Amino acid sequence: MNAPKLNYNPALDGIRALAASAVLLVHLNPAFLPGGWIGVDVFFVLSGFLITRILQLEIGTTGSIDLKRFYIRRAIRLVPALLAMVMVVVIVAKLMEKQIITEAILSLTYTMNWAQAFDIGLPVKYLDHTWSLAVEEQFYLVWPIALLALRSKRPWAYVAALLVASLFWRGALIHNGATWARTYHGFDTHSDTLLIGSLLALFPISQRVVSAARLTSWIPATLLLMCCFPMSPAWTSRLSGSSTSARTLSLRINKRPKRLVRVP
């Protein structure tokens, strides 16, 4: 039996495009868009939401998850583009007489986030941006198994508990002197936005929530835009995760994509 597919939602592509643009701008010149790094958290929320919806749909249809097929499809989707990018960067680095073999290995094995979390001292850092791909891939590795283990009438309750545990774990590490790099790049401490997206995919939607989301869907979009401009990092982090979550919820409820975030 073929795995069931989600209906295509152009609005999600629109949000992805905006997030990618924000990340590119902040890498080109932070002065262009100081808060552009929130695009990473936007991607994490969307990834958690979409993957969980796909997996839950498969569980609901077949009663299980074909793990082999899932991992193969993820590899086909992600590995070729990463391999091509790493090869180009290695060639360019070689021409510039730079050695980035360690970076290439870390990128291709999806472990760059841990190298940065524990600050192993990469000399060049041409591929350090692949840390976010590593976090997502680690999520893809464990999440299907977790969902199978969490099968129940209320899987969202277990995901909510995991989210709270993740936040407490990060707080405990910070309290005990963990560095910013450790808590930002570690999968165990930066999985909260992925779990938020997953929770949105699983949480039951009541008619009251539907009505509220349709009336206020413009608010999270406005807050996301605000996050891209200078403000306290703590506020930016909180607003970006919560507003992306709210925006994703409104897109889950509203069947017609909004023009503001729709890709033609």
Evaluated on CA atoms 230, 232, 237, 239, the torsion sign reads negative
Instruction: Check residue 253 and give its pLDDT.
Output: 44
Percent of the chain at pLDDT exceeding 70: 70
Give the global pTM: 0.79
Which residue bears the tokens 């899932």?
Answer: 70
Rounded to whole angstroms, how far apart are CA atoms 183 and 190?
7
Identify the pLDDT of residue 151. Answer: 79
| Alpha helices in the chain, H assignment, sequence order | 10-28, 38-62, 67-95, 101-108, 112-117, 131-149, 155-175, 180-185, 192-202, 207-216, 218-227, 233-253
Q: Between 92 and 218, where is the model more confident?
A: 92
Do the beta carbons of residue 130 and residue 111 sit within 8 Å?
no
Q: Return d(Cα 231, Cα 193) in angstroms, integer.
A: 20
User: What tens digit of pLDDT does each residue of 51-65 get?
Assistant: 999 999 999 899 899
Give every CB contact of residue 21 below 8 A, 6+ residues apart in sequence. Answer: 39
What's the whole-number mean pLDDT along residues 220-249?
50
Q: What is the pLDDT of residues 140-179, one digit of tens each?
A: 999 999 999 887 778 889 999 998 999 899 889 999 999 9
Compute the distance between CA of residue 127 and CA of residue 90 in angstroms, rounded to an integer: 9
- Confidence (pLDDT) at 234: 46
Distances (CA, A) of 95 to 17, 71, 92, 100: 32, 35, 5, 12
Tell me how far apart the alpha carbons of residues 217 and 94 are, in angstroms, rounded to a whole number. Answer: 49
- Mean pLDDT, residues 184-203 taken together: 89
Query: What pLDDT is recorded for position 72?
Result: 96
- What would the mean pLDDT of 84-89 be, rounded to a whole number? 95
Q: What is the mean pLDDT of residues 170-194?
A: 91
Return left, alpha or beta for 119; rule: phi > 0 is left, psi -120 to 50 is alpha, else beta.
Answer: left
- Alpha-carbon Rg for the chain, nearest whole angstrom, is 19
Q: Where are the domains of the chain?
A: 10-69+145-261
pLDDT above 60: residue 23: yes
The percentage of the chain sitting over the pLDDT mark of 90, rounded to a whole number, equals 36
pLDDT tens track for 30-42:
777 766 777 788 8
Confidence grade of residue 10 (pLDDT, cut at 50, 70, 90): low
What type of residue sits at position 92? Answer: V
Instruction: Give the model's confidence band at 242: pLDDT under 50 very low, under 70 low, under 90 confident, else very high.
Output: very low
